Structure 1
């Protein structure tokens, strides 16, 4: 159990936040995520396919950010300090998902999983494709669902008794962390657009989607900073590290939330601009190629027409 007795945790500092303190469900999950991804990449490479190194690096970093906030002292402090908890929340909902999505795990899975042969029952690849096309995924990955969900995860959690209820049990805390990660992944999936999904908005729409969620996020941070009373009852003087000013800590949590919103926005914008430039370039080369091809096709057709005329003209008309 991770609940330390009162006063066992010293004052919150970078050193204490970085100590190794594994939360087993997360550690195991992260190792599995790395293992599966690695196996997929190895299979592609053995087959002679290429997989961009950048994607592997992004995935690795994404998994490491999850480990960093769940298997460290930060996780222990997240139980007793609002500011530490908010750091976990922000990283899991806004940094890890972006990095993981830049790793293009769905694309990797679709390319690495072997299709089931004809007449065989559907394999994992077929199930994944079916899932991607399912109505369920179409709904939960639609911006009209993901944006409100993203916003509700902030306001609904901290401005209602829900947070305090969940924090009472280890399972509740775990579920909350998994939820943050899942909501982040859903929110950024159509926006990052590296992986196939039911919704493929254009680049302008993606930027709009990104900016639709952010003001709510910033406003939430400001609201927490401005609050004159404690928003959540979980964090008390009894459990907090000695010398903690709970209101100051809450202000810090709000400030962190408010400031952190800028980080993913910047990362996503840079990624989107790169993708946009690349797709424009690809579009241009495709148009050029298509023009050449059409030109060739017309020429070939014209030559065939001439040849047919010659044939018709030279051969005597056959009697009916």
Structure 2
């Protein structure tokens, strides 16, 4: 019997080693540590914010709202970020760290045997982690609701009790952007939390992981980084910073809970988290530096309160990150020898999260501390609206001489290229072959993505409708075609070996991404065609376009939607990657032919449209060159018509070629079968024609018995 659990069978006392094992292998609760982490973060944030309160009030020019708001807002906000991190980390663990229950595979599993994860349910440990993530999301939603009157009280200087009155809530939603952001946070958080309480299958966990990140995004779009010049850099860098922070802190909290529950495969979970945490700390450091440099000069680091907070936070992130990496480096080999002996890891990890919580409190106090006033500030309307100013009119050649790197999609383009190179290196080590044409398409797609969003095309995209349409067509019609032809999922499944039984890894995750019920629905020709077409009409034929184009968040959302929508459409049309259902080229040609008139009509409609889209916004920019908005929109419609039809014609040719190849394969297979059977099918067919020519049914006398008139009695 297991000496770690059961005492000596002879009835004698357990040995000291057995007693230690029994103590270490006892399931322990974790929620007191969650409370401790949140309290430390809130306390540090409240103390620092209180210390800089007078400077903050003087900078804002508002009276003191009272101790409830002055101390409660930073405390509750810090607590909220720890709770949000717990939700993100829990769903991260159920998706990638904690293996689901094993599912027996069979030959009928579908096109990909590795897609058995579609049917897998969470283990007991995974289910507890998922419930933790769901309750954390619900708590974050409750905190968001309380933050609405707190924000109103803080910005207006009125006491918290006054801000709680119903009429002040209406004012907050109408006039205070940060209050609206917290309202959206509450909506997404409650949605995520309620969904997390009901889903028990593994397939839902990646979606909940994404949803837990989305619920925090509205906060990243407000604050210091979202205002003034360079706010495009500020917002994008803050988005990266916050998402990576949530993964870094939340993932470790989830691992602590996993260890205290005596969860299986602890060695694998820690190893995977270590990789994630390493890249997260690097990304946090880079994005934090970028964000700090936008707010102040280097000399301000030592001469201003805001600079001292930035310096303290940077040192804290680096020190805690390096300490955690060293700790995991020493712990992982021990866990590989004995995965159940995780006491050493847990004790050190708890201290590590406490340090993370303190760093989070420092970061929260920065939101209450005004940054130093910049020595040179671009206050032009363009800079306030777009984050930067344009100096020259875009032309066919000048757009490639402008450059402003896009921290969001530009970074993603570089990461996608790096990921692909890693896959190619892994294939080379395994002496496997790979189609170099696919590599060419992927590299071309990544380069086109970076150039589109970072060159003069991306810079002028918010300024004029015609340049917006150029970028739209490239992001939805060109970049996806190149990326799809690169076959990234096939590369993953070829370069990464399947995981051990009960321990799915990257190979299995790629397989389930290529074959799951949601993708099966999205890639159905009717759904896929409609989603690709409806984006054009819903965006430009409704007031949605003016709302989206006037906000940086709107630009981010549009760019992501363009790329994702186009990728799904062309994946089903021409993608070499596996799909839930492979349809014939004839079927895809039919759907493409059906969709082409809608694309062409959309461009014609824009060219004939008399109403100028987003006229107020474009007029407000006051560009340094004269722009005829009506003519610019006409040009944009022409670009949509020409650019929309050109890629579709290429895809049409690609599918027609595939159809021809399919027919040739069928013909060759028939000829091979005929030669093997000495043309028995052809002989039988000729005999059937002879019988029909003689008035006989080819299968007997059925024709005569059925259709010839019978003699009357």
Instruction: Normalising by structure 2, report the TM-score.
Output: 0.39
Q: Residue in 2 aligned with 1:85?
A: 468
Distance 1:282 1:193, change over 3 A: farther
Q: Does 1:63 align with 2:446?
A: yes
In the TM superposition, residue 217 of structure 1 has moved relative to its aligned partner by 1.2
Q: Residue in 1 aligned with 2:488?
A: 105
Q: Which runs of 5+ in 2 are unaligned?
A: 1-229, 233-381, 679-713
Q: Residue in 1 aligned with 2:435?
A: 52
In the TM superposition, residue 163 of structure 1 has moved relative to its aligned partner by 1.5
Q: Residue in 2 aligned with 1:43?
A: 426
Q: Is the 8 A contact 1:113 1:125 kept in 2?
A: yes
Q: Is the 8 A contact 2:446 2:479 kept in 1?
A: yes
What CA RMSD, in Å, does the superposition of the two structures yield over aligned residues?
A: 2.3
Distance 1:157 1:135, change over 3 A: same
Q: Is the 8 A contact 1:167 1:234 kept in 2?
A: no
Q: Does 1:271 align with 2:654?
A: yes
Q: What are the equivalent positions in structure 2 for 1:1-320 lying under 5 Å apart?
A: 1=230, 2=232, 3-4=382-383, 8-18=390-400, 19-118=402-501, 120-233=502-615, 235-239=617-621, 240-283=623-666
Q: Which runs of 5+ in 1 are unaligned?
A: 296-320
Greater shift, 11-20 or 171-180, is seen at 11-20
Q: Is the 8 A contact 1:224 1:250 kept in 2?
A: yes
Question: Secondary structure, in 3 states, of the residue corresponding to 1:10?
Answer: coil
Could you report, residue by residue, the CA deviation over 1:168-214 in whole angstroms, capped at 9, with x for unpaired residues? 32222011101001111111111104111113210111112222222
Q: Is the 8 A contact 2:585 2:659 kept in 1?
A: yes
Tell me, in whole angstroms, the C-alpha distance in 1 between the residues paired with 2:470 and 2:638.
Answer: 11
Greater shift, 235-244 or 223-232, is seen at 235-244
Question: Secondary structure, in 3 states, of the residue corresponding to 1:163?
Answer: helix
In the TM superposition, residue 24 of structure 1 has moved relative to its aligned partner by 0.9
Tell me, in whole angstroms, the C-alpha distance in 2 between the residues paired with 1:53 and 1:278.
Answer: 21
Q: Is the 8 A contact 1:146 1:187 kept in 2?
A: yes
Tell me, in whole angstroms, the C-alpha distance in 2 between the residues paired with 1:74 and 1:174.
Answer: 15
In the TM superposition, residue 148 of structure 1 has moved relative to its aligned partner by 1.2
Q: Is the 8 A contact 1:193 1:200 kept in 2?
A: no
Q: Which has the larger radius of gyration?
A: 2
Tell me, in whole angstroms, the C-alpha distance in 2 between the residues paired with 1:223 and 1:92.
Answer: 21
The aligned length equals 294
Instruction: Normalising by structure 1, report the TM-score.
Output: 0.84
